[in-house]
Amino acid sequence: MGAKSLDPKRLQREAHKAQAARPEPAIGRETTGVTRAVRETLPVIQKLRKAQITWAAIAAAMTEQGITQGNGLPLTATRLTAVVGHVERQIRRHEDSLALRRLRTDLARSDTETLKAPLREAIAENGSSDLPGNPTEEELRRAGLDELRSLLRKD
């Protein structure tokens, strides 16, 4: 049996459809509704704790709204504190990862001056008359085209 060829348009259409049907990605893996509920209401839970509401009272209130443990039993204070701690650790790790990523110089390319420097050099090589100011849109396009031409191989 030979390999069947794919219809690229159909593949694209079905991939978009499958992606739209997927749930939004969250930080970490959620196995119960408790984790999702805690993640969505963490600021409220933290505010209640600052108001000195007990974990048991918060767990009971969540159970009243239909949030139960995986086996259908009422949510306990112990389970709630474990899930809250877990979600807070996930958030901290995610924030730390983002902070480290921002420090990487090989990824810091959003600085407009860093991006303009190579373009200004390319414009200078082509003999632009107004280099001290910002390059015009036409000059930027031409510099980009020249750079692309140097990357393309000649037949």
Mapped onto helix, strand or coil, the DSSP state of residue 129 is coil
pLDDT digits (tens, 9 = 90+) for 32-74: 688 888 998 999 999 999 999 999 999 999 988 888 887 888 9
Q: What is the mean pLDDT of the chain?
A: 76
**17-32 burial, b for 16+ CB within 10 Å, e for fewer?**
eeeeeeeeeeeeeeeb
What DSSP assignment string belongs to 11-80? HHHHHHHHHHHSPPP-SS---SHHHHHHHHHHHHHHHHHHTT--HHHHHHHHHHTT-B-TTSPBPPHHHH
Residue ranges per structural domain of the chain? 30-103, 112-151
Is the pLDDT confidence value at 131 over 50? no
Give 132's pLDDT tier (boundaries 50, 70, 90).
Answer: low
Residues 6+ apart with CB under 8 A from 35: 28, 83, 86, 87
Residue 112 or 126, more confident: 126
Question: How many residues does the structure list for the chain?
Answer: 155
> Token pair for residue 145?
């085209």
Task: Let me know: does 136 contact 121? Beta carbons within 8 Å.
Answer: no
pLDDT digits (tens, 9 = 90+) for 63-111: 888 888 878 889 999 999 999 999 999 988 988 888 887 777 776 555 4
Task: Looking at mean pLDDT, say which of 4-13, 46-55, 102-111, 143-152 comes out highest.
Answer: 46-55
Q: Could you tell me the pTM of the whole model?
A: 0.49
